DNA sequence: TGTAGTGTTGCTAAAAACGCAATATAAAAT
DNA sequence: ATTTTATATTGCGTTTTTAGCAACACTACA
């Protein structure tokens, strides 16, 4: 009986609709169904009568709903009371990250921080992941969600978040590139699309050198992984990007992963700030909230 | 943040002692430590100051303690209110099980039932596991926690609970049996202690026949697995018993498991009642609460 | 009778939790 | 001052739990 389950139940009791409630909470309907089953088992009686088409609250369900709301309210009160001290902290916090990271990795980090420091204003700048460290260095932002380069200058403080696997992607559509890949081919003949700079480019160079097939046929260089996926989807060539960028891309149906093309070392994604500023109250509080 | 964690925190806040609290709740100290860490992470501040030797509540911890007690109280209120209808159910319920099952398997079953039907009086009879079905058949009890025999009469209703592995145990102490086992030996020479009857005896006969070493040298037959462990511990011979009996035995330090002695088919442990009585309200309610 | 909408269940893969054993540290004892 | 004891935490392998997909079962409605 955790808070998430209670929230879901409260919402479900309002909407009386599993699918919608599940979507609202970013879980699959089956998960929600099982969560409710767990609750029912815990209290020892069924909370909802469902006849496979409609859902209504049982008497126990109504009581449970009130209970759940009370519990959640008390939790909120506790939060408020505990955060009063921390709430003194206020100001602006500038964050830089890629569009993709903003979707995939930032939300859970910010959620806790915002809860603990509601008065702090978050300013989010999105852009090419490769520019992240530069932004931090020139103090345009307080910190960035960034991939760790092989050589990380001493001036930075880096906190590990996750490993980001890279993949080689190719267009799904019928085009010249597609046909080349179908046949026997030399990598030096395949047009390749690359990031202008940054760790992803480094990864590519390392990977291509291993193939020992001469010079790469670079079709274009772009800034920003998101744009790179689009280029590939349009059939311009193949590219290397983080899988998570593809998953969140609106054109993900139009690219395929190439398998058996050799290992590509994954990114190490993390939160990066200047060492000199890591003791500033806001930045310190942020690192505190994510560790 | 589930109820168990809250209960543990409340107790810990009183005792200020991890090891004792952990034991009280039947978990290892490390588990408790991690549970508290989880709570602290959830609220975003430390609840206890510990300097590796002493534990004191932090300010946040005090507030959290109050919160936890409130939450638990509301849960109790909910329980009470939901159980009012079911509480109409009252009477006596006679249960039979072995001493060991009373420790190891019964508590979790009864806990839910008692919560849901507080007015029902539980009458527990412990005894030799092998007598369980007999007790049910002659209606001395309402149901029993029992091992399923190969042939289960149609008059019984059986609900599976768990697989109980059997083991061959021998005395740890230096004695004749011990020495025999150390050397090359024939199984027909080793003194063996057996249950008088019941599934465990059947298992033994099956197992011994596989060895094809003639007739077993049966030193003694006893009724009740618990007594059997004692006999083995005293050095009278080797025996076959459920592992769980050994684990709960006060003399478990004085017996060893024999390995590489062949497979013994495990018990199927379950709840067993008469088919004719499975629709009685109390018995039905019990099965409901454990399924 | 077919079709779309809805909740549940079987199954497998991933994640979380557990407990043991080792570790760290501080108080108490020698 | 050094050893012993008491206590909480951490590393790690194992077990248990949970999530989500896909298939299913059922119902309303066209």
Predicted pLDDT at B101: 76
* Superfamily (CATH H level) for B166-265: Periplasmic binding protein-like II (3.40.190.10)
Mean pLDDT of A137-166: 86
Q: What are the chain B neighbours of A114 within 8 Å (beta carbons)?
A: none
Are B158 and B270 within 8 A, CB to CB? yes
Structure confidence at residue B86 as a pLDDT band (50, 70, 90): low
Spatial distance between the Cα atoms of A236 and A255, rounded to a whole number of angstroms: 11
Mean pLDDT of B85-107: 78
Instruction: Please say whether the beta carbons of B154 and B207 come within 8 A.
Output: no
Task: Say yes or no: do domains B91-163+269-290 and B166-265 share a fold.
Answer: yes
Could you tell me which CATH number the domain at A91-163+269-290 has? Answer: 3.40.190.10
pLDDT at A63: 93
| Residue A41 CB lies within 7 Å of the nucleic strand C | no
Burial of B179 (0-12, 13-18, 19+ CB in 10 A): exposed
| B45 to chain A: closest CA residue | A82
Nucleotides of C under 7 A from a protein CB: 5-10, 17-22, 24-27
**What is the DSSP annotation of B253-281?**
GGEEEEPSS---PPEEEEEEEEGGGTTSH
Q: How far apart are CA B53 and CA B49, in angstroms?
A: 10
The nucleotides of chain D lying under 7 Å from a protein CB are: 6-11, 18-23, 25-28
Q: How far is B70 from chain A (nearest CA, A)?
A: 8
Q: Give residue-wise pLDDT tens across range B19-76.
A: 999 999 999 999 999 999 999 998 888 899 987 678 889 989 999 999 999 999 999 9
pLDDT at A179 over 80: yes
Cβ contact (<8 Å) for A81 and B63?
yes
* DSSP secondary structure string for all residues of A228-258: HHHHHHTTS-EEEEEHHHHHT-TTGGGEEEE
Q: Is the CB of B291 under 7 A from strand C?
A: no
Strand D-proximal residues of B, range 112-141, CB below 7 A, are: none
Q: Could you tell me which residues of chain B have a Cβ less than 8 Å from any Cβ in chain A?
A: 1-3, 43-45, 60, 63-64, 67, 70-71, 74-75, 77-79, 81-82, 86, 112, 115-116, 289
pLDDT, tens digit (0-9, with 9 covering 90-100), for B99-146 = 777 777 787 788 778 877 878 888 888 887 778 889 999 999 999 988
The residue-averaged pLDDT of B256-262 equals 78
Q: Any idea which nucleotide's C1' is nearest the CA of A28?
A: D20
Q: Do B79 and A43 touch (CB under 8 A)?
A: yes
Q: Which residue of A has its CA nearest to B117?
A: A44
Cβ neighbours for B104, distance < 8 A, ≥ 6 positions apart: B244, B247, B248
The partner residue sitting opposite A60, judged by closest CB among B70, B74, B82, is B82
* pLDDT score, position A226: 83
Confidence class of residue A4 from pLDDT cuts 50, 70 and 90?
Answer: very high
pLDDT range class, residue A86, cuts 50, 70, 90? low
Q: Where are the domains of chain B?
A: 3-86, 91-163+269-290, 166-265
CA closest to C1' of C18 belongs to B31
Q: Which two tokens stand for residue A164?
A: 């980001």
Q: Which residue has the tokens 């379950």?
A: B270
Contacts of A170 (CB under 8 A, 6+ apart): A177, A178, A181, A232, A238, A255, A256, A258
Contact B82 A112 (CB under 8 A): no
Query: Do residue A67 and residue B79 have CB atoms under 8 angstroms apart?
Result: no
Q: Render pLDDT for A28-42 as a digit per residue (tens, 0 to 9).
A: 999 999 999 999 998
Q: In the predicted model, is pLDDT for residue A45 greater than 80?
A: yes
Q: Phi/psi at B144 (nearest 5 deg)?
A: -140, 155
Write the DSSP assignment of B178-201 as a string of letters. Answer: HHHHHS---GGGSEEEEESSSHHH
* CATH architecture group of domain A3-86: Orthogonal Bundle (1.10)
B131: which DSSP letter?
A: G
Of A1, A45, A78, the CB nearest to B3: A1
Instruction: Return the percentage of chain B with pLDDT > 70, whole number.
Output: 98
The model's pLDDT over B177-222, given as tens digits with 9 standing for 90+, comes to 888 888 877 888 888 998 888 778 888 888 888 878 788 888 888 8
Give the pLDDT mean for A263-279: 83
Is residue B87 predicted with pLDDT exceeding 70? no
State residue A35's pLDDT score.
96
Cα separation, B277 vs B280, in Å, equals 6
Residue B50's Cβ-count burial label (10 Å; 0-12, 13-18, 19+) is: middle
Band (A284; pLDDT cuts 50, 70, 90): confident
Cα–Cα nearest to A147, from A171, A124, A130: A130
For B17, list phi and psi in degrees, rounded to 5: -145, 110
Does at least one atom of strand D sit less than 7 Å from the CB of A31? yes
The confidence score (pLDDT) of residue A113 equals: 82
Tokens of B171: 């005395």
Residue among B45, B70, B74 whose CB faces A67 most closely: B74
Residue numbers 43-62 of B with CB closer than 7 A to any atom of strand D = 48, 50, 52-53, 55
């Amino acid at each position: 009986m955790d808070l998430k389950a209670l929230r879901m139940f409260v919402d479900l009791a309002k909407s009386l609709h599993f699918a919608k409630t599940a979507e609202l909470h970013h879980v699959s309907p089956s998960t929600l169904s099982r969560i409710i089953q767990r609750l029912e088992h815990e209290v020892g009686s069924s909370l909802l009568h469902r006849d496979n088409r409609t859902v209504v609250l049982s008497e126990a369900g109504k009581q449970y709903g009130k209970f759940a709301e009370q519990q959640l309210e008390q939790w909120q009160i506790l939060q408020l009371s505990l955060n009063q001290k921390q709430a003194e902290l206020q100001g602006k916090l500038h964050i830089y990250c890629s569009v993709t990271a903003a979707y995939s990795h930032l939300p859970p980090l910010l959620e806790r921080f915002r809860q603990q420091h509601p008065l702090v204003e978050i300013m989010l700048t999105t852009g090419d992941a490769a520019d992240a460290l530069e932004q931090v260095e020139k103090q345009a932002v307080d910190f960035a969600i960034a991939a760790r380069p092989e050589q990380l200058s001493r001036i930075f403080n880096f906190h590990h978040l996750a490993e980001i696997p890279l993949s080689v992607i190719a267009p799904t559509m019928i085009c010249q590139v597609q046909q080349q890949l179908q046949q026997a081919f030399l990598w030096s003949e395949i047009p390749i699309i690359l990031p202008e700079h940054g760790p992803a480019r480094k990864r590519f160079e390392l990977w291509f050198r291993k193939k020992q097939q001469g010079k790469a046929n670079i079709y274009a260089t772009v800034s920003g992984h998101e744009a790179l996926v689009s280029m590939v989807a349009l059939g311009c060539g193949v590219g290397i990007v983080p899988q998570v960028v593809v998953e969140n891309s609106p054109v993900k149906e139009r690219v395929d992963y190439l398998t058996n093309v050799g290992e590509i070392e994954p990114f190490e994604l993390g939160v990066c700030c200047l060492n000199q500023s890591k003791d500033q109250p806001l930045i310190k509080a942020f690192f505190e909230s994510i560790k």
